[in-house]
Amino acid sequence: MASSGVYRIALVAIAISAMILTGCGNKPQAGQNALVEDSLVWYPGRTFSYKDKFNDLQAKQHEVASRIGLPHPPKDRKDAAKMRHQLVEIKTNENYIVDSLTHSVPYLIPAAAHELEAIGAEWADILARNGLPHYQFYVTSVLRTEEDIRYLQKSGNINSVTQSCHCYGTTFDLAYMRYNKVSHTRTYMHEDNLKLVLGQVLLNHQRAGKIYVKYEWKQSCFHITVRE
């Protein structure tokens, strides 16, 4: 009897594993003719330590931000509006979504805006070249005012330092565990594998001397400052 019970448990475990691997445990999308995502696909890139590779600290990022960014941090939203002629508005497009920003405004200096576009283009290229479904990543923080920083500090955010790189329009955060699938296909990807795709793009740009990157695991984002 005991061996029979163990056998039944083993069969259940195998069935659950099969559901996970085939995606049968996924909920279909809303709608009567929803497409069931039942084929898990992977980006075959080599994994690496995000913590080790993306360790460009605050002091290094702040030095370049204050040197090439806005001449001084905007005091509040009204002050930021006066600086708009020096900035580029960041908008949702086919490669990324500008999140609902509560403590920043969607503006970057031209060099940073160009770099964000380049990251999005390379992201799309890697997915396409590997025959993978297309996803958008999320931009979660952009230009912050001094007022935004104070609000963040009051809320207990441990990464909201007074001398923030975000105050110069050179810096943006990209979420690494949230993605939006665009392709209407049965294939789908796991968040951790999409994180590897985004990480590979950032590693390429970091190695080319275009950006500094800090892996912020508590905030689940890549903190990025343009270098030139």
Say yes or no: 20 and 105 in one domain.
Answer: no
User: Average pLDDT for residues 71-92, to the nearest whole number?
Assistant: 93
Find out whether 217 and 199 touch, Cβ atoms under 8 Å.
no
How many domains, the chain?
2
Weakest-pLDDT range from 17-26, 94-103, 197-206, 214-223: 17-26
pTM: 0.82
Pairing of strands 171-181, 221-226: antiparallel
Q: Say if residue 2 is in the same domain as residue 87.
A: no
| Domain shared by 202 and 141, yes or no | yes
Closest CA to 115 of 159, 191, 64, 153: 64
At 35 the pLDDT is 80
Please, are residues 40 and 25 in contact by the beta-carbon 8 Å criterion?
A: no
| Site of tokens 């084929």 | 39
- Measured CA distances, 197 to 15, 139, 152, 175, 187 (Å): 30, 16, 30, 13, 16
Number of neighbours of residue 117 by Cβ within 10 angstroms: 15
Residue 190 has pLDDT above 50, yes or no: yes
Range(s) of the domain holding residue 188 = 41-226
Residue 185 has pLDDT above 50, yes or no: yes
Are both 141 and 195 inside the same structural domain?
Answer: yes
Q: Using the predicted structure, report yes or no on whether residue 41 has a pLDDT greater than 50.
A: yes
Residues 148-175 have pLDDT tens digits of 888 887 766 555 556 789 999 999 999 9
Question: What's the CA gap between 177 and 199, in Å, rounded?
Answer: 11
For residues 73 and 104, membership in a common domain is answered with yes
Please say if the pLDDT value at position 33 is more than 70: no
At residue 80, what is the residue type?
Answer: A
CB atoms within 10 A of CB 30: 6
Residue 109 near residue 85, CB atoms below 8 Å: no
**Same-domain status, 103 and 212:** yes
Residues 53-75 have a mean pLDDT of 95
- The rounded distance, in Å, linking the Cα atoms of 121 and 146 is 32
SS3 content of the chain, % helix, strand, coil (to 5): 40, 20, 40
* Nearest of 165, 162, 123 to residue 141 by alpha carbon: 165
Are residue 19 and residue 93 in the same domain, yes or no? no
Are residue 176 and residue 203 in the same domain, yes or no? Answer: yes
Same-domain check for residues 90 and 165: yes
**What secondary structure does DSSP assign to 151-213, as a single string?**
HHHHTT-TT--SS-GGGGT-EEEEEEEEEEE-S-SSEE--HHHHHHHHHHHHHHHHHTTSEEE
Residues 97, 20 share a domain? no
pLDDT band at 204 (very low <50, low <70, confident <90, very high): very high
The rounded distance, in Å, linking the Cα atoms of 89 and 84 is 8
Q: Average of pLDDT values for 133-153? A: 92
Residues 213 and 142 in one domain: yes
Q: What integer best gives the mean pLDDT of the chain? A: 86
- Nearest-CA neighbor of 38 among 14, 12, 18? 18
Same domain as 60, residue 32:
no
